[in-house]
Amino acid sequence: MTLVKELEPTQDIAEDVIFPPGDLYSDEPPLETELHLRQIILLLKCLEWLWRDRNDFYAAGNLTIYYSPKQLKSELFRGPDFFVVLDTERKTRKSWVVWEEDGKYPNVIVEILSPSTADTDKDFKKKLYQNTFRTYDYFWFDPYSQEFAGFHLVDGKYQPLEPNHQGHLWSQQLGLSIGIHQGLLRFFTPEGQLVPTPEETAESERQQKELAQQKAEKLAAKLRELNIDPDTI
């Protein structure tokens, strides 16, 4: 992610302040590795599939967040690797422009660590998300070293989350746990069940259908051994 100097949060915005245009394109650099891309796509795919019947959230990856109307574009943004905003309209966006979104900041942020960004994600961005964004749930994950940590905002300060017996961290905002599965971050239900991708759901349904067909064929064969026509039952 592109990094810039920390900005002090604006306390009061005068009524005559001219806001920048809200129709701003995302301005993020390319992701560092293929694994970063796969991880972001996986989180997006799983959450959007799980919440496919909901229209009150926005999830995105590697997208610019413009949050200060008094700064130049190049000084405005921090593009989280993955973030979720709740209680908002589910639609496509060019970027997330806070002053065009009723002042809403992400409820959940996940940063994918890399050697060039780890220190910033753990210090600078953590402070930004705590003090300016006031994002309730913040996680970071290194897909190579498998380092994984999470924090929840309590009285304005991030407190470390304790893993459950499965090693998962609870996201109060999402109502889901986040944990490592086959080397990548995945979502889990409160009962500890893996939240599947659409492809995994389709494969599971195919296997169940195939198993049911095999059972039916075995039953039919057994009935024929007893001189019973299964088609007449």
* Residue (of 36, 128, 138) closest to 75 by Cα position: 128
Q: Based on the domain organization, do 56 and 103 belong to the same domain?
A: yes
Say what percent of the chain tops pLDDT 90. 63
Which residue segment(s) compose the domain that 232 sits in?
Answer: 197-233
Same domain, 63 and 176: yes
Q: What is the pLDDT of residues 77-132, one digit of tens each?
A: 568 999 999 999 999 999 999 999 999 999 999 999 999 889 999 999 999 999 99
Q: Would you say residue 213 lies in a domain? A: yes
Residues 178 and 86 in one domain: yes
Cα 189 to Cα 194: distance, rounded to the nearest angstrom: 7
Would you say residue 13 lies in a domain? no
18-73 pLDDT, tens digit per residue, is 455 666 766 555 567 889 999 999 999 999 999 999 999 999 999 989 888 665 45
Do 125 and 189 fall within a single domain? yes
Number of domains making up the chain: 2
Kindly state whether residue 99 falls inside one of the protein's structural domains: yes
Half-sphere exposure of 144 (CA within 13 A, CB side): 9
Question: Does residue 36 contact residue 158 with C-beta atoms inside 8 Å?
Answer: no
Is 164 part of a structural domain of the chain?
Answer: yes
Q: How many Cβ atoms are within 10 Å of 87's Cβ, its own excluded? A: 10
Which residues are bridge partners to 74 per DSSP?
Answer: none
Length of the chain: 233
Dihedral Cα 96, 100, 102, 106, nearest 10 deg: 10
Task: Compute the distance between CA of residue 131 and CA of residue 168 in angstroms, rounded to an integer.
Answer: 26
Question: Is position 6 within any domain?
Answer: no
Q: Are residues 55 and 147 in the same domain?
A: yes
Residue 109 lies in a domain: yes
User: Given the structure tokens 């019947």, which residue do they identify?
Assistant: 53
pLDDT at residue 133 above 90? yes
95, part of any domain: yes
Task: Quote the CA–CA distance of 18 and 24 in Å, as a whole number.
Answer: 15
Residues 174 and 202 in one domain: no
112 and 210 inside one domain: no
Chain centroid to CA 194: how far? 15
For the domain that residue 144 is a member of, what is the CATH number? 3.90.1570.20
| 104 & 202 share domain | no
Query: Cα angle at 112 between 107 and 117, to 5 degrees?
Result: 110
What gap in Å lies between CA 17 and CA 25, rounded to an integer? 22
Q: What is the pTM of this model?
A: 0.79
- Do 176 and 214 lie in one domain? The reply is no
Q: Are 112 and 192 members of one domain?
A: yes
For residue 78, the model assigns a pLDDT of 64
Cα atoms found within 13 Å of the Cα of residue 152, Cβ hemisphere only? 12
**Do residue 141 and residue 158 come from a single domain?**
yes
Asked if residue 221 and residue 120 are part of one domain, the reply reads no
